[in-house]
Amino acid sequence: MPELPEVETIRRGLQKCVVKEKGGKVIRVEILEKKSFIGESSMIVGASIRTLRRRGKALIFDFTNGTSIICHLRMTGQLIWTSSEERFAGGHPNDNFIAELPNKQTRIVIGFERGTLFFNDQRKFGFMRALKTEDVENDSFIRRLAKEPWEMSGEELFAKLQRHKGAPVKSVILDQSIIAGLGNIYADETLFYAKINPKRKAGNVSRDEADALIEGARVVMDRSLEAGGSTIRNYVKSDGTKGDYLELFAKVFNRQGKKCERCGAIILKTRVGGRGTHFCPVCQKQ
DNA sequence: CTAGGATCCTGTCAGC
DNA sequence: TGCTGACAGGATCCTA
């Protein structure tokens, strides 16, 4: 679930409350679900967070003692910081954003001097991994990541699409070793922006369309970042009701049955590479 | 090498 | 009110 903009929103949000003296040193690490934590949790006890980085959809906590935590939220992960004066929640938007913690879905609790960081994850696909900072680049997930859309040219993407010419273009742009950061929402939104049908073979995508894909990926993710990804602030609307942050920017995702904002046709939902896929049958012809 | 399908896990929702 | 099956914003592993 959380894609690049959500993870970046979390990075920015936590930067303001948990880094260095704001959060202070780690007092304890409580692992409530063994498979959610890889490595030795005692590595970070006594250290504070020096910086927060992001690579694709992975968040990296660098600690003052030369250790790091790589955190991947996968489908349903959330990070929630609580202290006496504030609460920041981001990731998979559900009621844990505002629930009492820890709870049934809490997998890891990291207690700091001045607050607590909860890692919640309904489906247990996400994880935290403790390792030396110098080993982060060698991590099996980090190592395989391609460039993000802002660093990649249309020419580079075009070449990569050619190498997977038989696969549907949507499946190819979801591959983090092809281009980093896109998940199911932004893949659909990017293809809508570029007016490309998600089922088209990657090999049929033209050089110009590859440019449009790069531009689309940048635009849709920038737009989501402005909206703040999925965080507590847009989960709870100003009138107190719970919201769907997708309303803020999605043109096709979860809009099946509704009108295309560009041409008025009805948005359809289908299945591509095993994933639910939303598109406009008129703007994105086969 | 590529492409496609199964798999990890819990929860929710539609349909009977 | 159950029960059942499909599906969920991800990535990896296995097979052909």
- Distance, Å, A156 CA → B15 C1': 47
- pLDDT, one tens digit for every residue, chain A (286 residues): 689 999 999 999 999 999 999 999 999 999 999 999 999 999 999 999 999 999 999 999 999 999 999 999 999 999 999 999 899 999 999 999 999 999 999 999 999 999 999 999 999 999 999 999 999 999 999 999 999 999 999 999 999 999 999 999 999 999 999 999 999 999 999 999 999 999 999 999 999 999 999 999 999 999 999 988 888 888 888 888 887 888 889 999 999 999 999 999 999 999 999 999 999 999 999 8
- Indicate whether A113 and A174 sit together in one domain: no
Q: What is the phi/psi pair of residue A263, to 5°?
A: -130, -10
In a domain, A85, yes or no: yes
Q: How far, CA to CA in Å, does A135 sit from each of A87, A125, A130?
A: 31, 22, 10
CATH number of the domain to which A111 belongs: 3.20.190.10
In a domain, A149, yes or no: no
- Distance, Å, A38 CA → C2 C1': 39
Query: Any atom of strand C under 7 A from CB of A157?
Result: no
Model pTM above 0.95:
yes
Nearest Cα to Cα of residue A162 among A193, A215, A208, A207: A207
- Indicate whether A69 and A114 sit together in one domain: yes
Please identify, among A123, A143, A163, the residue that sits at the C-terminal boundary of a domain: A143
A130, A38 Cβ separation under 8 angstroms:
yes
Q: Which nucleotide has the least CA–C1' distance to A163?
A: B2
- Indicate whether A165 and A107 sit together in one domain: no
DSSP E strands in A83-204: the ranges are: 87-91, 106-112, 115-121, 127-132
Q: Two tokens at A161?
A: 């699409």
A109, A102 Cβ separation under 8 angstroms:
yes
- Indicate whether A68 and A166 sit together in one domain: no
Query: Any atom of strand C under 7 A from CB of A2?
Result: yes
- Distance, Å, A59 CA → C12 C1': 19
Q: How many domains does chain A have?
A: 2
Domain hosting residue A132, numbered range: 4-143
Q: Can you tell me which residue has its alpha carbon closest to the C1' of nucleotide B5?
A: A274
In a domain, A285, yes or no: no
